[in-house]
A and B are shown apart, each in its own frame.
Chain A
Amino acid sequence: MSKHSGKTLEKKSLQPLVRIEDLHIHFPLPGGFLSRERPKVHAVNGVTLDIMRGEAFCVVGESGCGKTTLGRVLAGLLKPTIGTVTYDGTRIDNLDDHGRRPFRQRIQMIFQNPYASLNPRLTIQQTLEEPLRFHRPDLNAAEITAQVEKVMKSVGNDPEWGSRYPHEFSGGQRQRISIARALVVDPEFIIADEPISALDVSIQAQVLNVMMEARRKHKLTYLFISHDLSVVEHFGDRVAVMYLGSVCELAETAKLFANPQHPYTRLLLSSIPKMDGSSFVHVPVPGEVPSPVNLPSGCPFHERCPLANDRCKIEKPILKHQKSGTTVACHAVEEGRSN
């Protein structure tokens, strides 16, 4: 599948840190009591992608596109229905708690809601020490305290905060504490699920800066999940655009924003409100995102796509490499009908 396979001279640095192959995640819905088949939410439908060591890989899409589910699978919070996740050469999606344990230290997560992601009954110090005590039993109390202090300082927090409780802090401060909790075990891969979307504008910049700084200092690889395209443009090296559980376009950030190929990517980009004083041009697109319970046949976007034809209604397009350097899943782009 990968463009690297078959090459004999494969450098270690070119090996993906994370490889997701043909990932499907379905959630059974309650109901369907009398019928044999229970209805299912098709959250992710056949996603294949590689995340390279050291890159900031972004996933964008609207609510219900499966981006959060994808992140939760990588974090080990969900098991895939079909497909595999390989981390640094080891398949991790089928590991039990014990086998997964070394990867828990290497893969950490930052959550969206700073008001729910810290246990209200634990002090900041307790919250930060817990992962260390678990993953680094070799450290003594003084070393743990020192490590917590070091990480708190590195994300711009006052180590004096330790004895206080989460409710005493603002959203931005809490999010920096969450980042510190993720960093304290010295991970190499961080999944950040909408880490700044619950924050105020002036605080978003602060938190984003902390995350970029952490990337540089700790040589982190990020999976950054967001609905905010301007943040993705700033933060990401590569972007995958998801729609209804499938990746429809995957490209380097600069290329994607300069020259979007997939009709959905174009729609997304044209929908961003801009402050440059340009007049309000919006191309209305009929309908809204279909329900992930009953997926449309063929291309998931065909019902809203201005370029859709009969082929799009029947055959689901697969991601193909384009001459422009991007990867797109669209029959129209393939056939050259898109311009």
Chain B
Amino acid sequence: MSTISRILQSDLFYRFSRDKVAMGSALVVMLFVVVAALSPVLAPQNPYDLTQLDILDSELPPRWQDGGDERFLLGTDHQGRDMLSTIMYGTGISLMIGVFAVLLQAFIGISIGLVSGYIGGRVDAFFMRLADIQLSISTLMLAIVALAVFQAAFGSELYQDLSIIMLIMVIGIAEWPQYARTVRASVLAERSKEYVDAARVIGLPKRHIMFRHVLPNTLSPVLVISTVQIAEAIITEASLSFLGLGMPVTQPSLGSLIRSGFEFIFSGTWWITILPSLVLIVLIFSLNLLGDWLRDALNPRLYKKT
């Protein structure tokens, strides 16, 4: 109760409520999340349920176009799936992969950053060089290699079953240096503050100081990069799916939807590719706007100097 009122009274919330762009983008993101989460209830069709599909309904255009069907607001794809439902489910899968991949990134990155920054010395040097190496390899390249090897080793059937987990793992592991570097930088700044000295004078164990004193004070930059990282992860997933290494067509994410329609785009069935693309663009754009706003709001020094 008091936590809620504290949030509502905070300067951050006040600035948020005054900023139309921030409010708008947050609203859009919220809308996507709610719709995706409620898609089993809201969607007119379950695209995973093969018994609901009829191949005769395939490649129907959106309702407002000639030849459109009453039942399918946004038309259907080449398997006869309702585009609206497929996009709703697909957004859910994309968001899920994005969020979980970022949680994994954050977990690995924050742990390494914290240890690296607080202990310093050789440990720090080791992890930071590791981060440099990781950053010098493109995430996409690493993911392609890892996923292709997995597919070749275990067969595409197993791969289809595990694809969500695989994508989360690969994107999560490939992007940890962002978090590690951010956290390490703020740990270094916090560690030299007197409240950390005070905790050391008391004699508190290192681990306690790290987790109770230093960590909570390094989290605002983590929040800032998180929104942008989710957007990044969703794009990476979409790219991998577009290349055929992501989600299978039977369980499509936004990326695999775009890919599945791509073959037909020149035969006039544009909606299978364009509609999920639009959804993806709006989602990424809103996430990035939100991230930009958060960075400005939590970094007043950058903001105030005019």
When A and B form their complex, which 8 residue pairs have the shortest distance between CB atoms, in order from nearest? A104-B203, A117-B194, A111-B194, A121-B216, A131-B202, A119-B195, A116-B194, A116-B193
Report how far A279 CA is from B81 CA in the complex, Å.
Answer: 95
Mark interface residues in A77-112 (1 if CB within 8 Å of B CB, else 0). 100000000000000000001001100110111011
Report how far A182 CA is from B204 CA in the complex, Å.
Answer: 14
Q: A130 on the interface (CB 8 Å rule)?
A: yes
Q: Are A100 and B203 in contact (CB under 8 A)?
A: yes
Chain A residues positioned under 8 Å from B212 (CB to CB): 122
**Number of A-B residue pairs with CB-CB distance less than 8 Å in the complex they form:** 61
Chain B residues positioned under 8 Å from A121 (CB to CB): 216-217
Q: In this complex, what residue of A is CB-closest to B204? A: A134
Report how far A191 CA is from B199 CA in the complex, Å.
Answer: 14
Q: B205 on the interface (CB 8 Å rule)?
A: yes
Q: Which of A105, A118, A120, A122 contacts B203 (CB 8 A)?
A: A105
Chain B residues positioned under 8 Å from A120 (CB to CB): 195, 217
Q: A154 on the interface (CB 8 Å rule)?
A: no
Q: A210 on the interface (CB 8 Å rule)?
A: no
Chain A residues positioned under 8 Å from B203 (CB to CB): 76, 97, 100-101, 104-105, 134-135
Mark interface residues in A144-177 (1 if CB within 8 Å of B CB, else 0). 0000000000000000000000000000000000
A116-B200 contact, Cβ under 8 Å, with A97-B205, A121-B217:
no
Q: Are A181 and B194 in contact (CB under 8 A)?
A: no
Q: Are B201 and A108 in contact (CB under 8 A)?
A: yes
**Chain B interface size range:** 10 to 19
Chain B residues positioned under 8 Å from A112 (CB to CB): 194
Q: B132 on the interface (CB 8 Å rule)?
A: no
Chain A residues positioned under 8 Å from B204 (CB to CB): 130, 134
Q: A178 on the interface (CB 8 Å rule)?
A: yes
A76-B201 contact, Cβ under 8 Å, with A118-B195, A119-B213:
yes
Q: A199 on the interface (CB 8 Å rule)?
A: no
CB distance from A71 to the nearest CB of B (A): 11
A134-B197 contact, Cβ under 8 Å, with A120-B217, A121-B217:
no
Mark interface residues in B140-178 (1 if CB within 8 Å of A CB, else 0). 000000000000000000000000000000000000000
Q: Are B195 and A75 in contact (CB under 8 A)?
A: no
Q: Are B198 and A109 in contact (CB under 8 A)?
A: yes
Q: Are A77 and B213 in contact (CB under 8 A)?
A: no
List chain B positions with a Cβ less than 8 A from chain A: 193-195, 197-205, 212-213, 216-217
Chain B residues positioned under 8 Å from A181 (CB to CB): 198
Report how far A114 CA is from B178 CA in the complex, Å.
Answer: 33
Chain A residues positioned under 8 Å from B194 (CB to CB): 111-113, 116-117
Report how far A229 CA is from B251 CA in the complex, Å.
Answer: 76
Q: In this complex, what residue of B is CB-closest to A191? A: B201
Chain A residues positioned under 8 Å from B202 (CB to CB): 104, 108, 130-131, 134-135, 185
CB distance from B274 to the nearest CB of A (A): 47
Report how far A40 CA is from B20 CA in the complex, Å.
Answer: 54
Interface core residue of B200, B203, B217 (most chain A CB under 10 Å): B203
Report how far A97 CA is from B202 CA in the complex, Å.
Answer: 11
Q: Are B197 and A111 in contact (CB under 8 A)?
A: yes
Q: In this complex, what residue of B is CB-closest to A75? A: B201
Q: Are A77 and B200 in contact (CB under 8 A)?
A: yes
Report how far A135 CA is from B213 CA in the complex, Å.
Answer: 18
Q: Are A117 and B198 in contact (CB under 8 A)?
A: yes
Report how far A105 CA is from B203 CA in the complex, Å.
Answer: 8
A109-B195 contact, Cβ under 8 Å, with A97-B205, A130-B202, A134-B202:
no
Q: List 24 A-B contacts (CB under 8 A).
A: A76-B200, A76-B201, A77-B201, A97-B205, A104-B201, A105-B203, A107-B201, A108-B202, A109-B197, A111-B194, A112-B194, A116-B193, A117-B194, A117-B197, A118-B195, A118-B198, A119-B216, A120-B217, A121-B217, A122-B213, A130-B204, A134-B202, A178-B198, A181-B198
Q: In this complex, what residue of B is CB-closest to A121? A: B216
CB distance from B125 to the nearest CB of A (A): 13
Report how far A230 CA is from B198 CA in the complex, Å.
Answer: 27
Chain B residues positioned under 8 Å from A77 (CB to CB): 197, 200-201
CB distance from A166 to the nearest CB of B (A): 9
Report how far A113 CA is from B197 CA in the complex, Å.
Answer: 12
Chain B residues positioned under 8 Å from A105 (CB to CB): 203
CB distance from A106 to the nearest CB of B (A): 11
Report how far A97 CA is from B205 CA in the complex, Å.
Answer: 8
Interface core residue of A101, A112, A122 (most chain B CB under 10 Å): A122
CB distance from A136 to the nearest CB of B (A): 12
Q: In this complex, what residue of B is CB-closest to A76? A: B201
Q: In this complex, what residue of A is CB-closest to B192? A: A116
Interface core residue of A75, A100, A119 (most chain B CB under 10 Å): A119
Report how far A314 CA is from B194 CA in the complex, Å.
Answer: 40
Q: Are B201 and A109 in contact (CB under 8 A)?
A: yes
Q: In this complex, what residue of B is CB-closest to A114? A: B194
Q: In this complex, what residue of A is CB-closest to B216? A: A121
Q: In this complex, what residue of B is CB-closest to A185? A: B202
Chain A residues positioned under 8 Å from B197 (CB to CB): 72, 75, 77, 109, 111, 117
Q: In this complex, what residue of B is CB-closest to A126? A: B212
CB distance from A77 to the nearest CB of B (A): 6
Q: In this complex, what residue of B is CB-closest to A108? A: B201
New A-B pairs, 16, CB < 8 Å, besides A119-B199, A134-B202 = A76-B201, A101-B203, A105-B203, A107-B201, A108-B201, A108-B202, A109-B197, A111-B197, A113-B194, A117-B195, A117-B198, A118-B198, A122-B212, A122-B213, A130-B204, A134-B204
